[in-house]
Amino acid sequence: MKIVACNSNRPLAEAVAAALGLPLTSASIRRFADMEVFVEINENVRGEDVFVVQSTSYPANDNLMELLITLDALRRASARRVTAVIPYFGYARQDRKSGSRTPISAKLVANLITAAGAHRVLTMDLHAAQIQGFFDIPVDNLFAAPLFTRDIQERYRGRELMVVSPDVGGVVRARALAARLHTDLAIIDKRRPRAGVSEVMNVIGEVEGRHCILIDDIVDSGGTLCNAAEALIKNGANGVSVYVTHGVFSGGAVARVGASPIENMTVTDSILATEAVRISSNIRQITIAPLMAEAVRRISDESSVSSLFN
């Protein structure tokens, strides 16, 4: 087994390799003067089971291209099997036609990854579960919920908790976490007048006197979660904490979260933290490296991965 790290999140790749007791495979991934991506694998990978770690986060197009060219390089180097380990799968929010004459970009990206030479994909908390069906190769979609459950139980022991979904689309995710924590569930009734803008209409559920745990898969602009936190406080919640798998944090999201009623926002390290995230007073990261490493080990050993979902 060999681990190859692209450039989007090298610290996570190093942590995964360390958890497996392996060195990272020597590879050169650089740019020509016109910013074309060039990849060279500096070790023999013929007949090897190779895992390429690359989140397709900002800059999404550059990181996606790095992944595709690395997959192609490994295929042409006669690797026995190549698994694309994509902790954050970019373009996942474009999983359906949102209007006339619009693309389904998540399907296009799935096709590109397959055509580039991936035999399998390992990812975490896809924005829409049906994206697994966009691939014609096996896809393992891990969940951050077990990590979040343990962290919440340690940090908020003794508090009267309530899990809250920030919109109707996240109810399944929130209900699963509520079941793990044996707590009640509330839902934010949200309207989105245009992309990147959200308005809270109602809070469905009795949140008064409870410490609310908002759960979501992606925080981008932060508007949805900040508005939801304000609505919960107005409805009598004692406090609001947030757990999100992928911290995109575009634009002024970090400042927006810092100025909101959110006591603490916990994100995973599926996306490399920016300096603004690292110095934020109410944003913290927990690592998914042990979980990803165990999944990689089981895929390589041809053993069951499904028990990691629990």
Helical ranges in 83-222 per DSSP H? 105-116, 145-155, 171-181
Residue 88 has a CB neighbour count (10 Å cut-off) of 29
Helix (H, G, I), strand (E, B) or coil at 275: helix
Measured in degrees and rounded to the nearest 5, phi and psi for residue 122 equal -120, 125
CA 28 – CA 308 distance, rounded (Å): 32
Looking only at the bridges linking them, the beta strands covering 184-194 and 197-204 are: antiparallel
CA 263 – CA 20 distance, rounded (Å): 35
| Active-site residue flag, 190 | yes
- C-beta separation of 65 from 54 below 8 A: no
Residue 221 has a CB neighbour count (10 Å cut-off) of 18
CA dihedral for 193, 198, 200, 205, sign (positive or negative): positive
- C-beta separation of 43 from 103 below 8 A: no
CA 42 – CA 25 distance, rounded (Å): 8
pLDDT tens per residue, the chain (310 residues)? 999 999 999 999 999 999 999 999 999 999 999 999 999 999 999 999 999 999 999 999 999 999 999 999 999 999 999 999 999 999 999 999 988 999 999 999 999 999 999 999 999 999 999 999 999 999 999 999 999 999 999 999 989 999 999 988 899 999 999 999 999 999 998 776 666 566 666 899 999 999 999 999 999 999 889 999 999 999 999 999 999 999 999 999 999 999 999 999 999 999 999 999 999 999 999 999 999 999 999 999 999 998 887 6
Q: What is the pLDDT of residue 67?
A: 98
> Residue 67 carries which side chain, given as an amino acid letter?
L
> Residue 25 carries which side chain, given as an amino acid letter?
T
Q: What is the pLDDT of residue 191?
A: 72
Q: What is the pLDDT of residue 309?
A: 75
Kindly report the pTM of this predicted structure.
Answer: 0.93
> Residue 282 carries which side chain, given as an amino acid letter?
N
Whether the bond between 59 and the residue before it is cis, its omega within 30 degrees of 0, is: yes
Q: Of residues 97, 107, 190, 234, which has the active-site annotation? A: 190
Q: What is the pLDDT of residue 42?
A: 97
Q: What is the pLDDT of residue 169?
A: 85
Helix (H, G, I), strand (E, B) or coil at 290: helix
